[in-house]
Amino acid sequence: MKISDRELYKLCQECGGNARKWMREFAYYLPEVARRDLHRMKGFQSIYEFAAKVAGMNFEVCGRVLRLGEKFEEMPMLWEEIRVHGWSKMRVIACAVTPETEKIWIENLNRCTKSGLEKLVKKFKSVPGEEKQCRDVSLSKGSIQVGMSLGDNAPCADRADFDDRTMLKFRVDEETEFQFKKLKHELEKKAGRAMTMGEVLKKLLEGVESHEPKKRKTKKIVKVTRQMRVSEKREVEEKQNDRCCVADCNELATEFHHSKRYALTKSHDGVVKLCRTHHQLAHAGFLNEAGDWEMDWQPQERSQVIEEIDEKVRIYWSPNANAFS
């Protein structure tokens, strides 16, 4: 095969994108096939056999798609969105959407990533009178259960380098959870690669301590550019102590966000640091950026100028742009 690495990667991306597209199309039609008993007319023993042999869809995914089809049977406009977003994002909102809120959640689907939708569903469930039972998304508060998957049932990433491992599960409070995430982030940055929970725990037990970065002398820059100065970044980080500034968020802040939009002000006034998900939600219009940083489960009204700026950001972050899904 005489093609470059870049060309090979591009071909794989193209094939994978087409495969996902047609799998979403198949998922859209599957509940209707089941309702008509079409699979039995064509000689298949069950709808699961039909999905496996025709499209290579496994038993678990087929069951989830069928349950989603039942849930959205009275919401055909929303069910159409599975052809664009897939069953994974639809599954997140299944416990929150109603025929009355169908149009709102369609807009939310188009604005948000999967992790953003999970936070919106959590916010929706906290609204008085809007409580719904949701088994697919964990929304419990209080103590956090941290699972260290180190045994045979561990994900592939955890199984890569170990043969004999065990499963560790224990509960910690939110502050301990945050400190553990912070340590993991620092170790990954130092190692230059992603690390499993087991590797982080091993480093912690070996007595590795995270050190505060040394303060460096920086030259004064008169001209304001899109890139923030190191001193400005440190000022924001020290103020927030590396924690996302959104109320009740216990995630590590990794993204700098211009609440007043640099494209409008050409300054770094009002810059805060957010976790990756809340940074996406800020540009989707779900955060009150006036100072309290509260989140709502539906988009807030904003000026047309800011909406146009954020629309460009969302397009840049869209899966088609190879950002995050």
Residue 223 lies in a domain: no
Is the pLDDT confidence value at 298 over 90? no
Quote the DSSP letter at residue 252.
B
Q: Residue 12: exposed, middle, or buried by beta-carbon count in 10 A (0-12, 13-18, 19+)? A: exposed
Please indicate, yes or no, whether residues 116 and 22 belong to a single structural domain of this protein.
yes
Residue 130 lies in a domain: no
Identify the band that residue 158 occupies on the pLDDT scale cut at 50, 70 and 90.
Answer: very low
Look at residue 197 and give its three-state secondary structure: helix
Identify the band that residue 212 occupies on the pLDDT scale cut at 50, 70 and 90.
Answer: low
Please indicate, yes or no, whether residues 198 and 303 belong to a single structural domain of this protein.
no
Please indicate, yes or no, whether residues 190 and 293 belong to a single structural domain of this protein.
no
Is the pLDDT confidence value at 210 over 60? no
Identify the band that residue 24 occupies on the pLDDT scale cut at 50, 70 and 90.
Answer: very high
The token duo for 179 is 């400190």
The token duo for 164 is 């004999």
pLDDT (tens digit per residue) in 244-264: 888 888 888 888 998 888 888
Please indicate, yes or no, whether residues 171 and 274 belong to a single structural domain of this protein.
no
Residue 210 lies in a domain: no
How much is the pLDDT for 170?
76
- Going from the C-alpha of 211 to that of each of 181, 182, 275, the distances in angstroms are 15, 12, 21
pLDDT (tens digit per residue) in 38-60: 999 999 999 999 999 999 999 99
Please indicate, yes or no, whether residues 120 and 162 belong to a single structural domain of this protein.
no
Residue 166 lies in a domain: yes
Please indicate, yes or no, whether residues 100 and 10 belong to a single structural domain of this protein.
yes
Question: What gap in Å lies between CA 285 and CA 299, rounded to an integer?
Answer: 5
Please indicate, yes or no, whether residues 66 and 18 belong to a single structural domain of this protein.
yes
DSSP string across 123-164: HHHTSTT-----SSS----SSEEEEEE-STTS-HHHHSS-SS
How many beta carbons lie within 10 A of that of residue 182, not counting itself?
Answer: 17
Is the pLDDT confidence value at 138 over 60? no
Please indicate, yes or no, whether residues 11 and 103 belong to a single structural domain of this protein.
yes
Beta pairing class for 271-274 and 255-258: antiparallel
How much is the pLDDT for 166?
65
Please indicate, yes or no, whether residues 63 and 171 belong to a single structural domain of this protein.
no
Please indicate, yes or no, whether residues 38 and 119 belong to a single structural domain of this protein.
yes
Is the pLDDT confidence value at 8 over 80? yes
Residue 290 lies in a domain: yes
Residue 77 lies in a domain: yes
How much is the pLDDT for 264?
82
- Going from the C-alpha of 27 to that of each of 58, 107, 136, 156, 208, the distances in angstroms are 12, 21, 18, 26, 48
How much is the pLDDT for 320?
52
Identify the band that residue 288 occupies on the pLDDT scale cut at 50, 70 and 90.
Answer: confident
Residue 139 lies in a domain: no
Mean predicted confidence (pLDDT) in 312-317: 80
Residue 134 lies in a domain: no
Please indicate, yes or no, whether residues 315 and 234 belong to a single structural domain of this protein.
yes
For 91, the domain range is 5-125
Is the pLDDT confidence value at 4 over 60? yes
Sign, CA dihedral 27-33-35-39, equals: negative
The token duo for 70 is 């039942």
Sign, CA dihedral 275-279-282-288, equals: positive
Please indicate, yes or no, whether residues 317 and 236 belong to a single structural domain of this protein.
yes
Q: Residue 237: exposed, middle, or buried by beta-carbon count in 10 A (0-12, 13-18, 19+)? A: middle
Number of domains in the chain: 3
